[in-house]
Amino acid sequence: MQRNSAKQKTYRNLMQQGTKTLTHAGITDTPYLDSLLLLCKASGETREQLLASFPDTASHKTVTEYNQLLQIRETGKPIAYILKHKEFYEHDFYVDERVLIPRPDTELLVETAANLYKHGLPDNSILDICTGSGCIGISLKAEFPDAAVTLGDISAGALEVCRINSQRILGAELPIYQSDLLESIPGPFSLIVSNPPYLTVDECLHPDLLHRGEPVKALQAGSDGLDIIRRLARQGFAKLRKKGYLITECGFDQALLVSEIMSSEGFTIKEILKDLAGCDRVVIGSVK
């Protein structure tokens, strides 16, 4: 009986059901889009195909799979982890629970690094440290094939994801190091770019964040969220060439503190840039 009613569901019915379920779960601001993406995955259809076939009846297999995906999404697991990819800087990155899901705000780091690269660095050496999925360094290498980009992360799992993305996006592997910040990475570099962990312990206890299931190690940096940036500034200054730059992302209320930390290590603060929401998000320090 249940089987029959499942069989008779149209794609439109499934969309209505999914949107309602996810709205009720209160875990997403985009219940319709999420339902559409999950239905694409369950049915194997593209978005365009699906929109054109709304009145059609979905197969039993699609309905079953869709319901399973909805159940997973209801727990708060991000769409990117369910679909195993995320668009960043016009590239399609593989992601799973071993890495932070790339955020649109982090594209600002790539743009900033790209501008500095175009306007002249001491040489072409770039390091993306705390690289996670590799999204920053790989996007830079894709834009500047002549750049010597190195990637580093403390997590072995992240480096595996990084390797997948290097092959997937660049068709080749970049030099990748497993390293606690810059400790095991040879230098020097002209540009060090990083989206390090910068959330406080308290921020990481927020239920919305916990439900996402992202690696805490990629997010949390002590009671004030600055433990990693302090070490990054110290180690970075020692590993940069003269006239080189450190670009770091930070929390919406941390830019002044980060500037102070970087200045105290010897950097000259070149600029603080705002994210899409107008919050100070990126600090650029230069080595004179």
- Residues of this chain that bind ligand GLN (CB under 6 A): 103, 195-199, 219, 249
CA distance 166 to 100: 16
Residue 251 Cβ, how far from ligand GLN at the closest point, in Å? 7
Residue 201 Cβ, how far from ligand GLN at the closest point, in Å? 12
Q: Which residue, 18 or 225, is less far from ligand GLN as judged by CB?
A: 225
Residue 193 Cβ, how far from ligand GLN at the closest point, in Å? 13
**Which residue, 256, 245, 262, 199, is CA-closest to 226?**
199
Q: Which residue, 18 or 102, is less far from ligand GLN as judged by CB?
A: 102
Specify whether the CB–CB gap between 107 and 273 falls below 8 A: no
Residue 35 Cβ, how far from ligand GLN at the closest point, in Å? 24
Residue 212 Cβ, how far from ligand GLN at the closest point, in Å? 8
Q: Which residue, 18 or 152, is less far from ligand GLN as judged by CB?
A: 152
Q: Which residue, 215 or 266, is less far from ligand GLN as judged by CB?
A: 215
Q: Which residue, 196 or 285, is less far from ligand GLN as judged by CB?
A: 196
CA 78 to chain centre: 12
Looking only at the bridges linking them, the beta strands covering 280-286 and 85-88 are unpaired
Q: Is the peptide bond before 196 cis (omega within 30 degrees of 0)?
A: no
Alpha helix stretches (DSSP H) within 177-216: 207-212
**Which residue, 139, 221, 143, 209, is CA-closest to 180?**
221
